[in-house]
C-alpha cells in the first residue's frame, strides 16, 4: 500500500509538472439544420467562443467551452429564405477531452469529444419568439499553429448538437494563449 501511494504521488507530481493552462477565443460560423419534420430547415447564425483548457500531458487535455451568439440569421425552408423568421444562438456550454499530437514544432492536430448544451431562440415577426435548450454528445477536430511559444492560431470543426433530427455544427477560427 505504501509503495502504491509513493508511485501515485510521483505520477501526480509528473503530470502537474507537465501541465499547462491555456485559453482560446474564436469566431464560430454555425450551421443549424433540422430535418425532423420532413422539410429541410436551415440557418447560419454566428457566435463567439471561448475555451479554457488544462494539459494533463503532452497528448491529452481537458477543456471547458462557452459560447455566445453574435448575430442571428434568417431561417431557410427547403432553400427559401423566410425573412420574417430568424434563429439566434443564446449560449453554448461544453466539457471536453482533447487528445492531441504535434506534427512538428509549430503544428498540432487534435480531436475533441465531450458533452455540450446549446440554447437558441427562434423569432418570427408578428408571432413572437421561442427559446429552446438541448444537450448531446459533442465532438470535433482541428489544428493549431504556434506563432511563438505562448500564442497560436487555431481552426476546428465541431458538432455541438445532434438530437432528434436537429444538428448544430460550426467552423471556428481563433487565437490561443498559454499561461
Which CATH number fits the domain that encloses residue 169?
2.40.160.20
Q: In this model, does residue 178 exceed pLDDT 90?
A: yes
Residue 11 lies in a domain: no
Range of the domain at 150: 20-178
**CA 35-36-39 angle, 5° bins:** 50
- State the Cα–Cα distance between residues 67 and 82, nearest whole angstrom: 26
- State the Cα–Cα distance between residues 156 and 150, nearest whole angstrom: 19
pLDDT at site 4: 46
- State the Cα–Cα distance between residues 48 and 55, nearest whole angstrom: 23
Residue 3 lies in a domain: no
pLDDT at site 26: 98
- For the segment 138-176, what is each residue's pLDDT rounded down to a tens digit? 999 999 999 999 999 999 999 999 998 899 999 999 999
- State the Cα–Cα distance between residues 160 and 114, nearest whole angstrom: 9
Residue 12 lies in a domain: no
Residue 124 lies in a domain: yes
pLDDT at site 81: 85
- State the Cα–Cα distance between residues 4 and 109, nearest whole angstrom: 35
Residue 4 lies in a domain: no
- For the segment 11-65, what is each residue's pLDDT rounded down to a tens digit? 545 554 456 999 999 999 999 999 877 778 999 999 999 999 999 999 999 999 9
Of 130, 140, 146, give the one whose Cα is nearest residue 67: 140
Instruction: State the total domains in the chain.
Output: 1
Residue 2 lies in a domain: no
Residue 6 lies in a domain: no
Amino acid at each position: 500500500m505504501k509503495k502504491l501511494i509513493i508511485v501515485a504521488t510521483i505520477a501526480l507530481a509528473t503530470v502537474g509538472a507537465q501541465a499547462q493552462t491555456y485559453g482560446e477565443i474564436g469566431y464560430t460560423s454555425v450551421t443549424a439544420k433540422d430535418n425532423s419534420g420532413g422539410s429541410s430547415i436551415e440557418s447560419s447564425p454566428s457566435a463567439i467562443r471561448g475555451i479554457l483548457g488544462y494539459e494533463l500531458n503532452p497528448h491529452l487535455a481537458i477543456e471547458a467551452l462557452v459560447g455566445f451568439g453574435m448575430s442571428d440569421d434568417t431561417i431557410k425552408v427547403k432553400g427559401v429564405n423566410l425573412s420574417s423568421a430568424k434563429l439566434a444562438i443564446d449560449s453554448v456550454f461544453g466539457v471536453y477531452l482533447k487528445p492531441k499530437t504535434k506534427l512538428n514544432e509549430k503544428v498540432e492536430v487534435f480531436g475533441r469529444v465531450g458533452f455540450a448544451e446549446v440554447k437558441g431562440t427562434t423569432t418570427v415577426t408578428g408571432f413572437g419568439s421561442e427559446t429552446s435548450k438541448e444537450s448531446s454528445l459533442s465532438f470535433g477536430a482541428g489544428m493549431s499553429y504556434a506563432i511563438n511559444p505562448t500564442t497560436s492560431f487555431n481552426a476546428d470543426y465541431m458538432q455541438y448538437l445532434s438530437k432528434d433530427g436537429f444538428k448544430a455544427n460550426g467552423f471556428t477560427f481563433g487565437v490561443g494563449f498559454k499561461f
